Amino acid sequence: MMLAIPDVLSAVEVTRVRAIIDAADWVDGNATSGGQSALAKHNVQLPEASAAAREAGDIVLDALGRTPLFVAAALPLRVYPPLFNRYGIGHAFGTHVDNAIRIRRGSDFRIRTDLSATLFLADPDSYDGGELVVEDRPGIKLPAGHMLLYPASTLHRVEPVTRGQRIASFFWVQSMIRSGDDRATLFELDTAIQSLAAERGQGDPDIIRLTNVYHNLLRRSAEL
């Protein structure tokens, strides 16, 4: 399941994050690459342990926690601390797959990467190219503050930038639900329940029964 999630960051939050990261020192993007990715990756990013990355990352994490669509779709157990990258003219990231396990250097923090996320931090009309292409789907450029959530198991790439700068936050999510199919089914059920509840009210007996079914399925499948 691939899902565009609007307005994860408000315009004010995007401006705040950009002020933090734009003033920071950037390094070669291959600082966090595996061997295969290093052959295809040409960009720059904030050092993972930098004060700027931590400060901006905390803003992103706070925003994720109050974004119901993200919580419903990802059912997150762990979120890798957000990273930040920048693609200038000529930069690109060829076709690759994300590592199945991500370990934060210098710590015992590790996650299974069920989902990948790209949170766009530059308006799409400020740069040309830079589309995120997942498998064979059309390339995607979202407004600043919007996020794309997609399976980490997919092959994906970032097209070459030909004007301006593509700036984004990226990170991975370990879901409570390992199976992507089960996660998609739970999301579809949750979405239907919320739609019906908006019409009938949360106290409707059928809504209560369906909510019970949802939580029993979640209880059966969740890994904590």
Q: Note whether 14 and 56 are within 8 A (CB).
A: no
Element (H, E) at 197: helix 180-200
The reply to whether 145 and 110 lie within a common domain is yes
The reply to whether 84 and 189 lie within a common domain is no
The reply to whether 96 and 184 lie within a common domain is no
Residue finishing a domain among 160, 175, 190? 175
**Which amino acid makes up residue 75?**
L
Q: Which two tokens stand for residue 146?
A: 């919007």
The reply to whether 114 and 60 lie within a common domain is yes
Average pLDDT score over residue span 101-127: 95
The reply to whether 140 and 193 lie within a common domain is no
The reply to whether 23 and 121 lie within a common domain is yes
The reply to whether 15 and 110 lie within a common domain is yes
Instruction: Check whether 35 has a pLDDT greater than 70.
Output: no
Separation of CA 214 from chain center = 24
Domain that holds residue 210: 180-221
How many whole angstroms separate alpha carbon 151 and alpha carbon 175?
A: 11
Greatest C-alpha distance within the chain = 58
| Confidence band of 105 (pLDDT split at 50, 70, 90) | confident
The reply to whether 194 and 169 lie within a common domain is no
pLDDT digits (tens, 9 = 90+) for 62-98: 999 999 999 999 999 999 999 999 999 999 999 999 9
**How many domains would you assign to the chain?**
2
Q: Which two tokens stand for residue 63?
A: 């925003």
pLDDT recorded at residue 40: 81
The reply to whether 109 and 170 lie within a common domain is yes
The reply to whether 86 and 151 lie within a common domain is yes
Q: Global pTM?
A: 0.93
The reply to whether 127 and 197 lie within a common domain is no
Q: Name the CA radius of gyration of the chain, rounded.
A: 18
Helices (H) and strands (E) in the chain, counts: 6, 16
| Mean pLDDT over the full length of the chain | 95
The reply to whether 162 and 192 lie within a common domain is no
pLDDT recorded at residue 41: 87
